[in-house]
Amino acid sequence: MTLAINGQKLIVGHLNKDLKERGKMKYQIIYADPPWGHNDKMATHSFTQLHHYSTMTTPEICNLPIKELSEKDSVLFLWAVSPMLIDALQVMGAWGYKYKTIVFCWSKITKNKKLISNLGRWTMGNIEIVLLGVKGHPKRLIKNVKQLVIAERTEHSKKPVEVRNRIVELMGDLPRIELFARQKTEGWESVGYDIDGKDIRQSLKEIAG
């Protein structure tokens, strides 16, 4: 797979394979979409995660062994749900990262390019956000990656491929892992129940050694 960045082609997908073969499993990019467990009155509504897959509590997410998997200079891209921003920041801190910004904002549209509005807590919801946290002193590759992602909503909670591509554009072809992934992606270590049927806690324990 290649990505065009400022007119140059970036070959994506070699570093993770090489590092795996050498037995070094530290990652400079952590990309995660945790199955947040809502605990308010809307938690049992038909559109929430609970009706589509098992959720995890915030302490369970915090206790994942991300510190053992991440390089000293690395970046975390963390999907967060609006009602649980405090929880997302708590997870970020527990994983060893310092919050910096909302790096991506996904505005959902239909296949006919119409904006989607879901039942929200106070207003009708349309967006989901990705928080960026840093550990050490990671460096971005380019400065013109856009924050706003306008992309079609497909399966429940499935995130747009464009976000993954922009992460590579921003940071380069670095060793990277996607947590709670739906499918394998070239160039990424992909970990998730939908891939191998394993509890992510067990999968990460195996990777961390």
In this predicted model, what pLDDT tens digit does every residue of 143-169 receive, in sequence order?
Answer: 999 999 999 998 877 899 999 999 999
Identity at 176, one-letter amino acid code: R
User: Which residues lie below 8 Å from residue 116, measured CB to CB, with a gap of 6+?
Assistant: 108, 109, 110, 126, 153
Q: How far apart (Å, rounded) are the C-alpha atoms in residues 194 and 79?
A: 18
CA distances from residue 63 to 50, 93, 95, 136 in whole angstroms, order as listed = 21, 11, 8, 21
The reported pLDDT for the residue numbered 165 is: 97
Share of residues in the chain with pLDDT > 70 (%): 81
Q: How far apart (Å, rounded) are the C-alpha atoms in residues 140 and 103?
A: 12
Share of residues in the chain with pLDDT > 90 (%): 71
The reported pLDDT for the residue numbered 24 is: 59
The reported pLDDT for the residue numbered 205 is: 86
Per-residue pLDDT in tens (0 to 9) along the chain, 209 residues = 455 544 544 545 555 555 454 455 799 999 999 999 876 555 555 545 444 468 999 999 999 999 999 999 999 999 999 999 999 999 999 999 999 999 999 999 999 999 998 888 899 999 999 999 999 999 999 999 999 999 999 887 789 999 999 999 999 999 999 999 999 999 999 999 999 999 999 999 888 87
The reported pLDDT for the residue numbered 41 is: 53
User: For the chain, what's the residue count?
Assistant: 209
Structural domains of the chain ordered from first start: 2-208 (3.40.50)
Q: Specify the long-range contacts of residues 107-114, CB closer than 8 Å, at least 24 apart.
A: 107/148, 107/149, 107/150, 107/151, 108/151, 108/152, 108/153, 109/150, 109/151, 109/152, 109/153, 110/152, 110/153, 111/152
What is the C-alpha end-to-end distance of the chain, expressed in Å? 29
